[in-house]
Amino acid sequence: MDTENNSFKRDARVIGLVGLAHGTSHFYHLILAALIPWLKPAFGLSYTELGLLMTVFFVVSGVGQALAGFVVDRFGARTVLFSGIAMLGVSALVLSGAGSYGGLVLGALLAGVGNAVFHPADYTLLNQRVSRERLAHGFSVHGISGNIGWAASPIFLTTIAAAHGWRTALLCAAALPVAVLALLALNRHVLYPDPPLRQAAGAQGNTLAFLKLRAVWLCFGFFLLTAVALGAIQSFATISLESLYGISHALATSSYTAYMLASALGMVAGGFLGAGSKHHDRTVALAFSAAALLALVLAAGAGPSWMALPLMGLIGLCSGVAGPSRDLMIRAAAPQGATGRVYGVVYSGLDSGLAIGPLLFGLVMDAGRPGWVFAGVALFQALAIATAVGVGGSTRARQAGIKGQAA
């Protein structure tokens, strides 16, 4: 019993610490998007130029994330994670002092470098340090913490910006990674990573063998498509809802917050669904089918204004349910010993999609088509379903082949 209690406490501590770091990463995803109402007039920018800032962030993060997976597998996850958190704080300081559009681009670039490390480092630590029976719940908490970061960021930044200006808001944002890094450093012994992988002589070519797996690239495609939809919601859902439904900025922001909080609730349920299922692709497909249909209803803009908030919440709930099954789907597709590399490459699809989404839908907004934002969300979620089903089929075929060889 004591051993079981100690195992639970250790797992909970690791999950909590990694989740806190992940929430900080997601908080920084929106430090520019949340301040669009202030940055646009301050620098005389178009929505396309503002979208390009977020594209810079996610392009840098996507390329860096694929590379960070190799660094994590080689040198260990803890050190890489700590460096990323520190870089986020530096980026907020640079952004707060920006005097031109070029300064904003530099700050976005540094934030992208810091954000690049989180998924390969986080998932490597969870897979190494959390008991198998609690791993689905670990993934659930990891996703929830990210959504809490997304939900908290607009509220935190817009509240301070409205009272004291956008530069002060960014200075306050810089304090968050400092506090998180201090807490992680105090608990660094809990996050001690497994010894870095040492390649045997003549076996360096195996480092890239995972890239030949069809399931890995289907996972990449899944993340890219879903992230384009997410990028649209993060960057322009609030402004689109104001235009479509004639609601106030405060209510539109609350609708976005409802999306994120409901998504976190969905991830709690998704953790239990993931732990009790072997067909994770089917859970993902059903959840995203419902989310896409709801997004089409929202895109029509035909209902009463009060519909905006509950519809956003329901879309978030369905998307959240898919989260833990999505991460378990990737784990099943990853070869043993390549966790950091697989998560790094696959999650670079997330950053690639988040880079495309703001720029694509910034053009849509500049064209005066707010309803197309949610229609686009539905389209990209529907396309992602096909990739999820493909991942499940490829993984089951590979596992059946392994069992057949063993027999």
pLDDT band at 163 (very low <50, low <70, confident <90, very high): very high
| pLDDT tens digits, one per residue of 108-151 | 999 999 999 998 899 888 888 888 778 878 888 888 898 788 87
Q: Given this model, what pLDDT does residue 71 score?
A: 84
Question: Which of 61-65, 247-251, 319-323, 379-383 has maximum average pLDDT?
Answer: 379-383
Q: How far is residue 283's CA from residue 323's CA, in Å, rounded to a whole number? A: 10
Higher pLDDT, 313 or 250: 313
**Whole-number pLDDT of residue 198:** 47
**pLDDT of 200 strictly over 50:** no
Name all domains of the chain by residue range, CATH numbers in brackets: 7-184+212-406 (1.20.1250.20)
Q: Around Cβ 200, how many Cβ atoms within 10 Å?
A: 7
Q: Average pLDDT, stretch 293-315? A: 89
Taking the model in full, what pTM does it have?
0.73
pLDDT given at position 93: 96
Flag whether pLDDT at 3 surpasses 80: no
Is 69:109 a contact under the CB 8 Å cutoff?
A: no
Q: What tokens were used for 330? A: 């990737």
- How confident is the model at residue 112, as a pLDDT? 93
Query: Which pLDDT tens digit goes with each residue over 4-15?
Result: 667 888 888 999
**Has residue 295 got a pLDDT over 50?**
yes
Instruction: Return the pLDDT at 405.
Output: 58
Residues 123, 357, 216: CA angle, nearest 5 degrees: 40
CA distances 334 to 213, 216, 343, Å, are 9, 7, 8
- The token pair at 146 is 């990210």
- Phi-psi label, residue 246: left if phi above 0, alpha if psi -120 to 50, beta otherwise: left
In this prediction, residue 35 has a pLDDT band, given cuts at 50, 70 and 90, of very high
pLDDT above 90 coverage of the chain, percent: 34
Enter the tokens of residue 297.
């209803």
- pLDDT of residue 220 exceeding 50, the answer is yes
pLDDT for the residue 378: 93
More confident call, 196 vs 182: 182
pLDDT at residue 31 above 60? yes
